[in-house]
Amino acid sequence: MRRWRTLLAILAAAVTAATMSPNPAAAAGDPVTPYVVGGTRAALGEFPWMVRLSMGCGGALYSPTLVLTAAHCVSRTGANTSITATLGVVDLQSSSRVTRKSNYVYRAPGYNGNGDDWAFIRLANPVTGVATLPIATSTAYDTGTFTVAGWGANREGGAQQRYLLKANVPFVSDATCNSSSMYGGQVIAAEEICAGYTAGGVDTCQGDSGGPMFRQGASGWVQVGIVSWGDGCARPNKPGVYTQVSYFSSAIRSAATSLGG
């Protein structure tokens, strides 16, 4: 069973399905993992495109009006004015935070709870003066050491964080990640990337779902992954599993164009 890294999934154990958002992970009662474990505080302006979404997920500013996140963070494609995006700060309580309401959600059309885990949140008003995060359009940056960041839990079962945390995690090959000692074939090799330490200790967690995994490219930061799922947080032999952005880059760019972004 896939254990999404959304904050909503954590709440599912305490709230009946009738009172929950139609998030598929929450409906299934999956335990979810929230924030960066083993991380340190990010500096103001270090990752300006980081976004916190009010449903308990992360995201990255793809364009002035679009936030790239995970499909499992949203219920469906369609008009949606209920999501608030917060960005421009590392402290979610800062008076200088920028907020925008959503007006539309686009969920990957192939998403059925197994792969295709990406989505867009369209903002009602553009964000100006904030850098966006380019996506990887080839596999050139899909190995090496990556950076993850988020406001999710800093330990398994922990609480959402006020301050943005960051950490570095190494690439784990598909063969290793799908081995019997790790995920035993659950990872979709063509469209997912694993990253983390064999010994554990550093990972994304509940509340980090939808946030970016990124690394330095030829001209700055490039997004290579989207926080998707994992078994617990920072456990040995259980690296984080991320949507492989390069695999979906054409579909992502096409969707962005159709949404006006």
Q: Which of 177, 251, 175, 167 lies closest to 212 in space, CA to CA?
A: 167
The verdict on whether 117 is a catalytic residue reads yes
The verdict on whether 203 is a catalytic residue reads no
Residue 13, token pair as written in the block? 């154990």
* Phi and psi torsions of 216, nearest 5°: -75, 135
What is the distance, to the nearest Å, from the Cα of residue 152 to the centroid of all Cα atoms in its chain? 10
Give the number of other CB atoms < 10 A from CB of residue 101: 15
Question: Are the C-beta atoms of 42 and 125 separated by less than 8 Å?
Answer: no
What is the distance, to the nearest Å, from the Cα of residue 140 to the centroid of all Cα atoms in its chain? 21
The verdict on whether 179 is a catalytic residue reads no
Q: Which of 252, 145, 165 lies closest to 208 in space, CA to CA?
A: 165
Q: Which one of the listed residues 21, 102, 209, 246 is annotated catalytic?
A: 209
Region at 92 (left for phi over 0; alpha for psi -120 to 50; beta for the rest): alpha
Q: Which one of the listed residues 21, 72, 203, 231 is annotated catalytic?
A: 72
Give the number of other CB atoms < 10 A from CB of residue 45: 11
Q: Which one of the listed residues 30, 63, 116, 117 is annotated catalytic?
A: 117
Active-site annotation, residues: 72, 117, 209
